[in-house]
Amino acid sequence: MANAPLMPKATAVWLVDNTALSFDQIAAFCKLHPLEVKAIADGEAAQGIKGLDPVLTGQLNREEIEKAQNNPSYQMKVQESKVKVPESKRKGPRYTPVSRRQDRPNAILWLVRHHPELADAQIMRLVGTTKPTIEAIRERTHWNSANLTPMDPVTLGLCSQIELDIEVEKGARNAPQKVLKEQPETLLSMDETTSEDALAAAFGKPAPKVEEEQYDPDAVFASLKGRTVTKDEDDEY
């Protein structure tokens, strides 16, 4: 909860017991409902919770409390700690809740199918798995391959959309570029180079067609009429 004190109910118990602040002021500071603060004051809620002094924890100072007590409309603000504790970087695979672990194989199958550019290490960071499991699902040797269904890891709550987008962008940037292979040049056959279409393309005009000589049978016999046919000619016909 943003800008809320540590242990808000314990802080509210202390403020109810040690200050004259209104329920609304305490509720606004502790990020609680005013009725919840009223229940704490009436002893109906937070029973057994020991009050936590926000002044000792450095979340509030005496001047802020006095200013709020003198002005009922004033709302106190949590003081930022002067000591910044660096966040420890997570090492190893992501922790996955037990209730979500059965969904990891489906998420891995979805990542393998829809984002082949992702490396195994990236999938391990996203869903908290191991390399042998990824290989088994990719090679369809997983013990439950027949029952796996691709499911978006973001929908399953295994990672956020921002984390997935970052890994996909990184994977696409590191993926090897595909090189298109040039088709080897081959010589065309003689039939293809001497065809009408090839000649027309080469000379810009249709190739001339050779017309076969037509013979008139009547004219041939008329020319032979009245002359003596030799034996050689007779054999020829």
Query: Tens of pLDDT along 49-66?
Result: 888 888 888 888 889 889
Per the domain annotation, does 159 fall within a domain?
Answer: yes
Angle, CA 28 vertex, CA 26 and CA 32 arms, to 5°: 80
Listed residues 174, 190, 218: the one ending a domain: 174
Per the domain annotation, does 55 fall within a domain?
Answer: yes
User: Same domain, yes or no, for 46 and 109?
Assistant: no
Per the domain annotation, does 229 fall within a domain?
Answer: no
DSSP string, 86-111: PPPPP-SSPP--GGGGGGHHHHHHHH
Predicted TM-score (pTM) of the model is: 0.38
User: Same domain, yes or no, for 161 and 104?
Assistant: yes
Over the range 144-166, which residues count as b (16 or more CB within 10 Å of their CB) and which as e? Answer: eeeebeebebbebebbeeebbee
Per the domain annotation, does 167 fall within a domain?
Answer: yes
User: Same domain, yes or no, for 65 and 131?
Assistant: no
Per the domain annotation, does 32 fall within a domain?
Answer: yes
Listed residues 174, 209, 228: the one ending a domain: 174
- Total number of domains in the chain: 2
Per the domain annotation, does 78 fall within a domain?
Answer: no
Residue 127 near residue 111, CB atoms below 8 Å: yes
Axis crossing angle, helix 8-18 with helix 34-41, rounded to the nearest 10: 60
Owner of token pair 């109910």: 9
Q: Is 46 left (phi over 0), alpha (psi -120 to 50) or beta?
A: left
pLDDT (average), residues 96-100: 55
Q: Of residues 114 and 179, which shows the higher confidence score?
A: 114
Supply the range of the domain harboring residue 162.
98-174
Per the domain annotation, does 35 fall within a domain?
Answer: yes
Per the domain annotation, does 206 fall within a domain?
Answer: no
9-49 tens-digit pLDDT: 888 899 998 998 999 999 898 888 989 889 888 888 777 78
pLDDT (average), residues 73-82: 78
